Structure 1
Amino acid sequence: MAQQADAGQRARLNRDRVLHAAVALADRVGIEALSMRSLAQELGVVPMALYKHVANKEQLLDGMVDVIVGEIDSPAHGADWKSAVRERILSARRALLRHPWASRVIESRSAPTPGALDYLDSVIGMFRAGGLSADLTHHVMHALGSRVWGFTQELFPASPNVDPDAQAVMFREMAARYPYIVEIAAARTHDGESVVNQGCDDQFEFEFAIDLLLDGFERLHRQGWTSADQS
């Protein structure tokens, strides 16, 4: 009877179920703990059953990226290009915040997945539909960088929690040699929950950068900017 139940479960296995189970498992235990063996155990099947749906761990990770990308909201109908792009990117950010491991997996892919290409094509299409030239849009996408996916490769990476007194001593020692770094680091009150730097409001910093970039893109578009004019 147990063998019949196992056979029935394996028969119900499909690629979609495998990928969604992998995402859920990574959410729960972390991407480092995800393996074909642990996923098979989660699904109640032997590891070989998974290879009918994903050829290897890399293909599994590719598929997981597409699951995450599938959570990004579609572009709003009728919105101007700036609003549409902004909301699309902020939706991507919400998706990545639900799956904190996802940005590392996206960065690790050697080539964009089909879902990632669909998403990028959609974002580029919003700029083009807004009247931005292909030339300007090319540079726009470079400027957005990882922000198009909803995360930022930070100039000041997060540091582990340190004792406030020890941090004060460190700041005093640094101030003589690196006065401007210390000045901006101390410019805002910090809370310990941020992923940008200890205490920086990462959501505010992300939206600040996106709005600054979009305003700049709009200004260049209105000026009829081309890269040929810069050479």
Structure 2
Amino acid sequence: MSEHGAGRRAKSGRAPLSRERVVTAAVALADEKGAAGVTMRALAAGLGVEAMSLYNHVRGREDLLDGMVDAVFGEIELPSPAADWKTAMRDRAGSARAALRGHPWAVGLMDSRGRPGPATLRHHDAVLGALRAGGFSVAMTAHAVSVIDSYVYGFVLQELSLPFAGEGELDDVAGGILREAPAGTHPHLAELITEHALRPGYDPGHEFAFGLSLILDALRPDEAHQSR
């Protein structure tokens, strides 16, 4: 780099643009405004550059979305080769839930990209490998991944749509339902709220663990399932 270029960079106080920096900024913007809020103009403004300069690092918005989704996959822990398949799937599902809760915009995009990035491919290959190493046939591996991912993504979608974000807000919402509903009209709902949702320490995450256990306990790595 010339002295003039180095001086200009030092004067600006900003690191040079790179694909990684552009994608990282796009993920942060999406976390704040949702995927629809990630436009090339908005991203460039946040980076303090001209929009056209972004095209030196991404081909366009679709390529940018590819990178963003790949970055989220990169946050999900890979199954440990030393773990048994059930532990590996349980840990990976919990890590996926945490990553998707941190990036709510990503839930509907995770399997939508036609050009998956390296972290995405590495992730899928590791998950498939853990199941194959656990004795699953190719067909049963496909079934297992489908049902586990459907559960994880579906649970997170439902979780993100709930009208509360913590125990305090849950108490307000549930308490409001009990106060406003005519007495005795919804006994089973009232029972669930008072004896389950409003119990001290209730965490919706417990429901996630319960459902995941049902799925994992139902899966079997044996050849008998191939014909079903």
> CA-atom RMSD, angstroms?
3.8
CA distance in 2, matches of 1:171, 1:122: 53
> Which residue does the alignment assign to 1:35?
39
Corresponding residue of 1:15: 19
Q: Show the counterpart of 2:84.
A: 80
Is the 2:40–2:51 Cα contact (8 Å) retained in structure 1? yes
Cα distance in 1 for partners of 2:72, 2:147 equals 23
Whether the aligned pair in 1 keeps the contact of 2:9 and 2:16 (CA below 8 Å) is no
Distance 1:171 1:221, change over 3 A: farther
Q: CA offsets per residue over residues 163-214 of structure 1, 9 Å max, x none?
A: 8455554476974xxx87x3785352248xxxxxxx9733212222222211
Gaps in structure 1 of 5+ consecutive residues: 192-198
For 1:101 and 1:91, how far apart are their aligned partners in 2?
17
Structure with more contact order per residue of length (Cα contacts < 8 Å, sep ≥ 6): 2
- 1:176-215 equivalent positions in 2, closer than 5 A: 182=189, 185-186=192-193, 188-190=196-198, 201-215=203-217
Matched with 2:221 is: 221
Report if the CA contact (8 A) 2:136-2:221 is conserved.
yes
Q: Tell whether the 8 Å contact from 1:19 to 1:64 is kept in structure 2 after alignment.
A: yes
Alignment of 1:106-117 (within 5 A): 106=110, 109=112, 111=114, 113-114=116-117, 115-117=119-121
Give secondary structure in 2 for the equivalent of 1:12: coil
Gaps of 5+ in 2: 165-171
Counterpart position of 1:194: none
1:221 Cα shift? 2.7
Correspondence for 1:133: 137
Deviation at 1:72, TM superposition (A): 1.9
Is 1:69 paired with 2:68? no
Aligned to 2:169: none
| TM-score, normalised by the number of residues in structure 1 | 0.73
Amino acid in the other structure paired with 2:197: T
Which of 91, 97, 109 lines up with 1:93 in the alignment?
97
Alpha-carbon contact 1:22-1:39 (below 8 Å) kept = yes
SS of the equivalent of 1:113 reads: coil
Distance 1:74 1:121 in 2: 10
| Residue-by-residue CA offset, 1:29-54 (whole Å, 9 max, x unaligned) | 44443321121011111011112222
CA spacing shift, 1:98–1:165, aligned 2, 3 Å: closer
How far off is 1:70 after superposition?
Answer: 1.1
Aligned length: 214
SS in 2 for 1:74: coil
**Aligned-residue identity in percent:** 37
For residues 121 and 171 of structure 1, the distance between their equivalents in structure 2, rounded to whole angstroms, comes to 54
Contact 2:77 2:95 in 1 (8 A): yes
Pick closer, same or farther for the CA change 1:165–1:201 going to 2, 3 Å: closer
